[in-house]
Amino acid sequence: MSDTEHTGQRARPGLHGRRKGKPLRQHQTELIEQELPRLAALGEQGLVDWRTAFDFTPRALRMEIGFGGGEHLIAQAAANRDVAYIGCEPFINGVAKLLARMEELGLNNMRVHPGDAVDVLRALPDACVEQIDLLYPDPWPKRRQRKRRFVSEETMADLARVLIPGGRWRFATDIDDYAGWTLARVLRSPDFTWTAQTSSDWVQPWPGFVQTRYEAKAVLAGRRPVYLTFIRK
């Protein structure tokens, strides 16, 4: 049984969270108006070709879905300047923050999608992404809201299609029920294996992991994150 009603096209969770917060500062507005069109992952011509979009030849493509304020994505892109990144985030204040940090650090290895990550996943060719990070997706804890969760059999099929064999899907959450929800789907998936051997494999952050704003709040509130790595078969 599929997680969402079948409509002919593969179903998608859609966007349910907020897209705007406090008013943008002047420079943030300028970045959104002037820089975002140049750095957009999806333009009028469709998805940019990551192999030719940059002024260098990337050795791999990675993606972060729902980057929030971009703390983790910026750190990854700064540490791996020979890798191309696509960041997806519909919350425009987060996008503005990311653009400002990219400018400060002179990062030239990123494209941004200020919207639903499913748009990018469905525009990507097969087997081209080395790593996809989904860090603290909105938990939607109430039973009737769970169908809004990003992880579903449909989005997992999208992730599986775009990842290269051996590619990584990394998932972090502080919500036990969401960890169980995702593991249950991975364990019955023909496309992914879960790599954990011992508990330290999922309670320790990944090497080089930079804490996100959401994680910092979760830890302060006494919740324990888990870090799950799934390998594309």
Ligand X SMILES: C[S@@+](CC[C@H](N)C(=O)[O-])C[C@H]1O[C@@H](n2cnc3c(N)ncnc32)[C@H](O)[C@@H]1O
Q: What is the distance in angstroms between the CA of the first residue and the CA of the last residue of the chain? A: 22
Beta carbon of residue 149, minimum distance to ligand X (angstroms, whole number)? 9
Residue 138: active-site member: yes
Within 116-155, which residues bind ligand X (CB under 6 A)? Answer: 116-118, 135-138, 150
Which one among 169, 215, 225, 230 touches ligand X, defined by CB under 6 A? 215
Residue 95 contacts ligand X per CB under 6 A: no
- Beta-carbon contacts of 73 under 8 Å, excluding residues fewer than 6 positions away, are 64, 67, 85, 87, 98, 110, 133
Q: Which of these, 122, 112, 41, lies nearest to 77 by C-alpha position? A: 112
3-class DSSP state of 174: coil
What are residue 62's DSSP bridge partners?
85, 131
Q: Which span (38-46, 185-193, 200-208, 212-220) binds ligand X, by CB under 6 A?
A: 212-220
Residue 158 contacts ligand X per CB under 6 A: no
Residue 88 contacts ligand X per CB under 6 A: yes
CA distance 47 to 31: 21
Residues designated as active site:
138
Binding site for ligand X (CB under 6 A): 15, 17, 65-68, 88-91, 94, 116-118, 135-138, 150, 212-215
